[in-house]
A and B are shown apart, each in its own frame.
Chain A
Amino acid sequence: MKALFANPWVHLLSRWIAGGVFIYAAVYKIYDPCDFARAINGYKILPAVFINPLAALLPWMEIFCGILVIQGRFSRGAALLLACMLLTFMTAIGFNLIRGVEFECGCFGAQRDICDAIARSLISVRGEVFNHVRTGCDLVRDALILVPVIFVIFFKSERRVPSVKTGPDR
């Protein structure tokens, strides 16, 4: 495991996956912050006063941290912020799953994402079971995204993107 955390190629791959996912997730939210604000409102957790500031802040934070993680500058700090965001999203999704609130994740904007497609393919009749499957899938997906983010945080030493000619730093 230690060798894995010290492998610069794993680090590089983790940075690209983590950064790429968050940049992809941020683009539509920046394009249409109103939809993202509606999604946050749909969670029925936050008071109205926090919805617009969060809808304005989170997508830009995602894209900025995503770029930093890919570029390798301040990547640990940026990855720690991404991890905090992911854990917060997972807590909110889990909270609504437990209390049975139906909501749109909003994780990748208003577009139907992979979890919606998976739930549609598994459950032919929509209803409570469908929502549980989709929300559970959202949780698993976020947990999977957390893996490369954790790798970036725990990587042993800061390294720049390995050159194609020279290979990774050793």
Chain B
Amino acid sequence: MKSIALAQRFLARRFPGIVPETLAVLLASIVLAMLGNALSPRGISVLGGQWDPARGIMHADGHCAPRIQEMDLTSLLFLMEQKQDTLVVVDARSKEEFISGHIPGAVSLPLMDAAFDLPSFLAHHDAARICVVYCSGAECSDAQDLADILREAGGFKVFVYGMGFSGWVAGQRPVENGRL
């Protein structure tokens, strides 16, 4: 508190009137932000429907619904069992993380490398029709971002496994490692 008072005294002496001016601008900004956000069709919920990392990074409220449909572990396992020939599971994490452990049968396509590796990925998986992307867990957004890129590339029906690799491990499923 003493340092704040000191800073206020310094500002008042060095820049007369700047403290009340700053407070006035701050207050006006808050009012404008609340009004603008409330009136904007893309505004987000400020106090209700808060961000919920436990449900995945995309779940803040209705306005922030996932861009790509998410699936749970049961649906992923069902797809892996039933659609082996047409399904490709894509790991959006870094190559190092992939090597240290990944979902069995998954293919590494780190989001950072997507722009470079996408053509060879598409050439190698031209038979695939369904693509499920995952990243490290519910709090990462790489899977959604990579799924966006894959959807734009076309040819796939794209889903995101929202709980990611940590959800796979928590579900006590087998892990493969050491292969790119």
Residues of chain A whose beta carbon lies under 8 Å from any beta carbon of chain B? 30-34, 37-38, 41-42, 44, 48-49, 51-53, 55-57, 59-61, 64-65, 68, 74, 76-78, 80-81, 104, 120, 126-127, 130, 153
**Residues of chain B at interface, number, CB under 8 A:** 43
Report if A48-B36 is in contact (Cβ < 8 Å); known contacts: A37-B64, A80-B18.
Answer: no
What chain A residues lie within 8 Å of B94 (beta carbons)? 126-127
Determine how close the nearest CB of chain B comes to the CB of A140; give it in whole angstroms.
20
Residues of chain B whose beta carbon lies under 8 Å from any beta carbon of chain A? 15, 18, 21-26, 28-30, 32-34, 36-37, 40, 42-47, 50-53, 57-58, 60-61, 63-64, 94-96, 110, 112-113, 115, 139-141
Q: Are A57 and B29 in contact (CB under 8 A)?
A: yes
Could you list 23 A-B pairs, sorted by A, with CB under 8 Å? Answer: A30-B40, A33-B44, A34-B42, A37-B44, A37-B64, A38-B57, A49-B50, A49-B51, A51-B60, A52-B51, A55-B44, A56-B46, A60-B29, A60-B33, A61-B33, A64-B25, A65-B25, A77-B23, A80-B22, A126-B110, A126-B112, A127-B94, A127-B112
What chain A residues lie within 8 Å of B53 (beta carbons)? 41, 48
What chain B residues lie within 8 Å of A68 (beta carbons)? 25
Give A82's nearest chain B residue, CB to CB. B25
What chain A residues lie within 8 Å of B95 (beta carbons)? 127
What chain A residues lie within 8 Å of B23 (beta carbons)? 77
Q: Are B24 and A33 in contact (CB under 8 A)?
A: no
Alpha-carbon gap, A32 to B46, bound state (A): 14
Give B49's nearest chain A residue, CB to CB. A52
What chain B residues lie within 8 Å of A64 (beta carbons)? 25, 28-29, 32
Q: 9 closest Cβ contacts across the A-B interface? A: A77-B21, A126-B112, A60-B33, A34-B64, A77-B22, A61-B29, A56-B37, A48-B51, A57-B33
Q: Are A53 and B46 in contact (CB under 8 A)?
A: yes
What chain B residues lie within 8 Å of A80 (beta carbons)? 18, 22
What chain B residues lie within 8 Å of A30 (beta carbons)? 36, 40
Give A59's nearest chain B residue, CB to CB. B33
What chain A residues lie within 8 Å of B139 (beta carbons)? 41, 44
What chain A residues lie within 8 Å of B64 (beta carbons)? 34, 37-38
Determine how close the nearest CB of chain B comes to the CB of A50; give it in whole angstroms.
9
